[in-house]
Amino acid sequence: MKVIWISSECPYPANTGGRIVVMKKLEYFSQNNEIYFFCVVDDDDEYKYRIDLLKYCKEVHLYKRNKGAALFKLIKDPFICVSRWVASMKKDIDICFEREKVDWVIVEFPQMLGNISCKILNSNKLIISQHNIEYATLNNLAKSITNPLKRAIYNVEAKRLYHFEKRYYREMSVKLFTFVSIEDKAFFEKKFGKFNTLLVPVGTEMHEYKAYKDSSNIISFFGKMSYLPNVEAALWFSKQVFPLIQKKIPESKFYIIGKDPSKELVELSGSNPNIVVTGTVDSIEDYYEHTDIVVIPLTHGGGVKVKVLEALGHGKLVVSTIKGIEGTTFRNGKELLTSASAKEFACVCIDILQHLSCYEGVRRSGYENVREKFTWKTIVEKFELELNNLNL
């Protein structure tokens, strides 16, 4: 198959959940198909990654995101959309579509639809990949924001995005919508009506399952640390949960690992030397190696959390809020552990650190479950088969 693939950001390096999802799909899908890749970049420095993407794509086209020009278009459409619309990208996608006679145009995130011409929108070759229900995520975030102006901005942006999607879906011909969770799929169908939909879950790579030695008393949280749900999660754990753990295990450490940490997160290290905020790291493997518990203390955010699967694929014990495993089939006490309050979260972590070997069954079960059902190779092969069947 020949496929035009369009993304809202450069997926390389794959150091955030959304980037990992796109990069892994490109990596495995490219083994049997031709990919013509188009995306926007935030910084000029990202143009250098074109050579890395060319390992998987026949063509790679990168365009600078224009946040300034987007301000003039805000009357009608949301900022997260219009800031990613580039006239030259739209033209180049059209040229590629005609020249290569492509089978499918895959769009990661509906925010990129403004880069698609009417000809392609009505070609019956359009596939939209929904990583989450973005407008609902913005709505949920607004509820947690205390600053009135910032909360109002999020509310307006969520409303604009909802009406933008509703308008586009009504006016164009979409062959297939894909979703990472059953919950998101059902929510979408309730809000926007019945479409041809497919579940394409998030996957992970499997890493060597290593025996736990004595506890290092290290707890880690991985993610893009400028993303508001991750910031809120790290702050909540640092202020509400970790102090309770330290009372019982003074030598315990909490690592916050991920690019672009917010100012509030950077300041945590100054207030508590046992909290380590790494910022961007060359490799997360060393941090996984020394981690006893991976925590997922999320209270907001949509879709399936890539960080859950990544942790289980590394053979790590996971302790999460209920929200953190939303959209998955993982069970408390079986593949991982969940907690409903700060006190309960702390108690679970303390017990694990003090009795690590007692949780070996949970750790092994989580690892085997992911190996059986959620490897990227298996997921992309099934997606490829579905597309071939659609072509018949």
Kindly list the domain boundaries of the chain, sorted by start residue. Answer: 2-203+375-391, 218-373
Residue 69's pLDDT is 59
Residue 378's pLDDT is 93
Residue 214's pLDDT is 76
Per-residue pLDDT tens, the chain, 392 aa: give them: 999 999 999 999 888 888 999 999 999 999 999 999 999 999 999 999 999 999 999 999 999 998 765 555 556 788 888 999 999 999 999 999 999 999 999 999 999 999 999 999 999 999 999 988 788 788 877 887 888 888 888 888 888 888 888 888 888 889 999 998 888 888 888 888 888 999 999 999 999 999 887 779 999 999 989 888 899 999 999 999 999 999 999 999 999 999 889 999 999 988 999 999 999 888 889 999 999 999 999 987 665 678 999 999 999 999 999 999 987 889 999 999 999 999 999 999 999 999 999 999 999 999 999 999 999 999 999 999 999 998 76
**297, 325 in Cβ contact below 8 A?**
no
Angstrom CA distances, 373 to 14, 130, 334, 336, 381, stand at 22, 20, 15, 16, 12
**311, 294 in Cβ contact below 8 A?**
yes
Topology agreement, domain 2-203+375-391 and domain 218-373: yes
Residue 75's pLDDT is 62
Q: How far apart are alpha carbons 82 and 86 in whole angstroms?
A: 8
Query: Which CATH code is given to the segment(s) 218-373?
Result: 3.40.50.2000
CATH topology of domain 2-203+375-391: Rossmann fold (3.40.50)
Residue 251's pLDDT is 97
Q: Which two tokens stand for residue 218?
A: 């290290």
Residue 163's pLDDT is 87
List CB contacts of 72: < 8 A, sequence separation 6 or more.
none
Nearest to 215 by CA among 367, 362, 359, 354: 354
CB neighbours of residue 5 within 10 Å: 27
